Every structure is written in C-alpha cells, then in structure tokens.
Amino acid sequence: MNRTAICPPRRKAFVAAALLAGLASVPGALAEDVTTDLVKTETLASGSYRGFHVSVPDGRQASFSIEATGTVDFYVIREEFYSGYTNLFSGGFVAERSKERAIDFSHTLSESGKVVVIDNAGKSTTGANPVGPVTYTLRVTYGDRWDPVVVCGIALIPIGGALAIAYIIWDSRRKARKAAIQGTPPPELPPPPPD
C-alpha cells in the first residue's frame, strides 16, 4: 500500500464531490445556460448573485435586457474569468462590460463564451451594497447578426440621395447666378416652323 500519496483516489473523489456540492449550494455559483429566447423573473436574495452563460451560434446575436426592482451590479464576464468572480479567495475578477449601482442593463453579444451576472452580493468594492432581496426580469432575444458593412451600406443610401439632391439644387442656383452675372438672357425657344 502506497502511503506517500497526498490524497488517495477515494478521498479525491469525495473531496471533489464535496466541493461540487458546496459550489452548487452557493446561489448563482453555477451559471445557467441560455440557448434560446428567454423571459425570466426571479428574486435575488441579499448577498447572492446569478450568472447566465449565453451561447451564441455563428451568424446570430443575443440581445439581453435586465430590469431590477432595486440597485444591483451587472457584469459581462468571459467564461475563463467567471471562476475569479465566484471564488471568494480570488484577488478579484475582470469584467468585459459592467454597470454598477443600477436598476437596468442591456447589451448585445455576438459571440459565445460570456457570462452575464446580476450581482446583489457586493463583490465589487465600487458596486452596490446589498440592502435586501431584489426581483429582476431577464429578457434574452436571439436574432440574425447584422454585418457592419451591410448596415453602413444601408445607412449610406439615404445620405447619398440627400447629397445628390443638394448638389442638383446647388448646381442649378450656381448656373442661374452665373447667367445673371454675365447678363445673358436665358435661351429662347426657336421660332415655330413655317406652314
């Protein structure tokens, strides 16, 4: 029997199961997967948070909006940094986007690998201090992603039309002024043909 092992296999399995059970008992520790349109209303206890892992297929985007009944913090965190948020012993976390001390938040994701967090736990030193339970409504809507080139092209059509009309008006006024300055009368119609 090898007594030099730091943690025997059975004990490793027990420790892993205990850690997972403990992590699952922390409200919000495991992010809920969101893969389709969703409208969800829940109450978030003081000192807790909720994470939503938003999966975005290629060529699509996920737009979400959150409204809360009280002041909370909102974060968009990359998956690899989410454990830094959930781990009480980490030195902190990195948010890709945040809105602290707010009652609403909206954002559009065009790629997977992000976790949207509603924080009523006071994890940030600059964020809201939890004062009680907060009810929130989360709305996630999936749609086709707009190609920026197409959006710019569509936006340029009316601008181009307006510029063309402005040029035509400017050019006709310029020609009229030029004719007035030169003193030449506008061309007359030719006489009618003889009968």
Over range 28-41, report the average pLDDT. Answer: 86
User: Tell me, what's the pLDDT at 102?
Assistant: 95
Q: Answer whether residue 192 is part of any domain.
A: no
User: Tell me, what's the pLDDT at 141?
Assistant: 94
Q: Residue 167 and residue 102: Cα distance in Å, rounded?
A: 48
Same domain membership, residue 154 and residue 72: no
Same domain membership, residue 168 and residue 136: no
Same domain membership, residue 80 and residue 33: yes
User: Tell me, what's the pLDDT at 83?
Assistant: 87
pLDDT over 50 at 82, yes or no = yes
More confident residue, 153 or 100: 100
Q: Answer whether residue 190 is part of any domain.
A: no
More confident residue, 30 or 33: 33
Over range 103-116, report the average pLDDT. Answer: 94
- Other C-beta atoms lying within 10 Å of the C-beta of residue 109: 22
Same domain membership, residue 168 and residue 105: no
Q: Residue 122 and residue 87: Cα distance in Å, rounded?
A: 13
pLDDT over 80 at 129, yes or no = yes
Same domain membership, residue 33 and residue 116: yes
- CA 102, 106, 107 angle in degrees (round to 5)? 130
Greatest mean pLDDT among 28-32, 61-65, 92-96, 185-189 lies in 61-65
Same domain membership, residue 89 and residue 173: no
Number of separate domains in the chain? 2
User: Tell me, what's the pLDDT at 3?
Assistant: 39
Same domain membership, residue 136 and residue 41: yes
Same domain membership, residue 48 and residue 115: yes
Give residue-wise pLDDT tens across range 55-80.
Answer: 898 889 999 999 999 999 999 999 98
Q: Answer whether residue 188 is part of any domain.
A: no
Residue with the two structure tokens 């994701």? 109
Q: Answer whether residue 93 is part of any domain.
A: yes
pLDDT over 50 at 27, yes or no = no
Q: Answer whether residue 95 is part of any domain.
A: yes
pLDDT over 60 at 18, yes or no = no
- Worst-scoring range by mean pLDDT, 23-27, 63-67, 86-90, 103-107? 23-27
Percent over 90 (pLDDT), the chain: 44
pTM: 0.62
Same domain membership, residue 74 and residue 36: yes
Structural domain boundaries enclosing 164: 147-181
pLDDT over 50 at 181, yes or no = yes
